[in-house]
Amino acid sequence: MATEEDIDYSLSRVPDEAKQPFWRILFIRIGAICCVSQLMLGAALGFGMTFWDAFLATMLGSVLLQVVSWALGTAAAHEGLSTSLLSRWAGFGKGGSALFGGVVAISMVGWFGVQNSVFGEGMASIVTLTDFLGGMEYPVWAIITGLGITLLVVFGIKAIANFAAIFVPLFVIVVIVAAAIILQNHSLTELLTTAPPGPALTLGAATTMVAGGFIAGAICTPDYARFLKNGNQVFWMTLIGTFVGELGMNLLAVMLAHAMGTENVVDIMMGTSGIIGVIIVVASTVKLNDINLYSSSLGLATMLNALFNKKLSRNALVWTLGIVGTALSVIGIINYFTDFLVLLGVAIPPVAGIMVIDYFVLRRSRKTLDESRAKGQLPAKVENWNPIAIVCWIAGFAVGEITSIMAIGIPGLNSLILAGVLYWAIMKAYAGIKKQDVITFAETDQVL
């Protein structure tokens, strides 16, 4: 059972009595997708594609994300484990989970800082134009939102879900209102049939933009999907989130790009009304950035536990990460690390490919997971390292980075698929050489 400082089971299973209503987790999912950056993505598609070509690209990219999210989310709902903790019994062992937890922690707190910068800059520019709230400047806004979201995450998944239940509908409503104001002089037929106003964008490039924009978020789906009861709920959560967040926001932004002849639709929407602009920025940032910090804290908890065999205060980890991310955004350093964060983004997908193969195909730890789950506990033992998983992770990362540089396919998915297939092939070949059905590596009983 979780302590007061670990209300979200960072290093344990989520017990049945702590599972959450479907709607709560659904709002978190929609909030993670339905944001300003999604509008910017849709506008970029609309600037270079017809409406129906943009629709096809969004569908293709969304389906790929749906499959990844559903697979990992189903495993998490079944086991009640976060992404980084699940990786211990889904291919990586204790040492591998430390590496993965560290990558997730750094990547997500980095994006927390980047989003916090966007919030502060957006609020500062809006209040300057409207003289709203006395014209407070960027550093003050960045501190307010950074520490505010940190406090929200400290209160756990219920608080995150409750805030999402308020801000997701609010965000959708104000975006629709702003869009209606802009589109009122354009017919639907015109918006659906007009030629793209900008340089042509290929279907492959557009699909890459859609899938690549949320691949890391899809892989962190288990962090909140573990609070659902079963895989069916995970399926509907991801499906509804895709239709509302991906299709809804993207296609609305496509029409806006066609109507205005520009991909810079967000600034124009914010300029329709000062208070609407404020709500769009605040609502988008709160419901997206809390998940970044939440996943970062879970990854850091897993990493530090694997390295030092200690369960550290979750609240302390959240506050530390939140303050660091806020401070970096306030002084502006975080913006220089964007390329590094993109690099880390390519490093995360291969882990998903390996985890899916290990959990659903090879099923190496399923028996011990089933036995311990019946007792509401973690397995009594865990592998120290799985060298094959680490090698396949590195190989997948290399392929993702190379295909990113060469603009071949979707780098994140290239790395995910390559790592998964390679892991399956090597593990099966090694099992054949050893004449064993299941290959396991040296284990330890120091699970936590």
State pLDDT tens for residues 200-252.
888 877 887 787 667 777 888 999 999 999 999 999 999 998 888 788 888 88
- pLDDT (tens digit, 9 = 90+) per residue, 366-381? 999 999 998 889 999 9
Report the C-alpha gap between 217 and 222 in whole angstroms.
Answer: 10
Number of domains in the chain: 1
Q: Is the pLDDT of residue 307 over 70?
A: yes
Domain that holds residue 404: 18-441
Q: What is the mean pLDDT of residues 143-149?
A: 88
Report the C-alpha gap between 245 and 341 in whole angstroms.
Answer: 23
- pLDDT (tens digit, 9 = 90+) per residue, 398-446? 998 888 788 777 777 888 899 999 999 999 999 999 888 888 899 888 8
Tell me whether residue 101 is in a domain.
yes
Tell me whether residue 448 is in a domain.
no
Tell me whether residue 38 is in a domain.
yes
One-letter amino acid of 239: L
Tell me whether residue 13 is in a domain.
no
Tell me whether residue 5 is in a domain.
no
pLDDT value, residue 292? 87
- pLDDT (tens digit, 9 = 90+) per residue, 258-268? 888 877 766 66
Tell me whether residue 239 is in a domain.
yes
- Best mean pLDDT range from 35-39, 135-139, 182-186: 182-186
- pLDDT (tens digit, 9 = 90+) per residue, 346-364? 788 899 899 999 999 999 9
Tell me whether residue 190 is in a domain.
yes
Beta-carbon contacts of residue 421 (< 8 Å; ≥ 6 apart): 353, 357
Other beta carbons less than 10 A from residue 214's beta carbon: 24
Tell me whether residue 227 is in a domain.
yes
What separation, in Å, do the N-terminal and C-terminal C-alpha atoms of the chain show? 15
CATH code, domain with 397? 1.10.4160.10
Backbone angles phi, psi at 443, to 5 degrees: -110, 165
- pLDDT (tens digit, 9 = 90+) per residue, 62-117? 887 888 899 999 999 999 999 999 999 999 999 999 999 998 888 888 888 888 88
- Selected residue with higher pLDDT from 323 and 413: 323
133: left (phi over 0), alpha (psi -120 to 50) or beta: left
Other beta carbons less than 10 A from residue 435's beta carbon: 6
Q: Give rounded-to-5 percent helix, strand, coil for the chain.
A: 75, 0, 20
Structure tokens given for 107: 């990547």
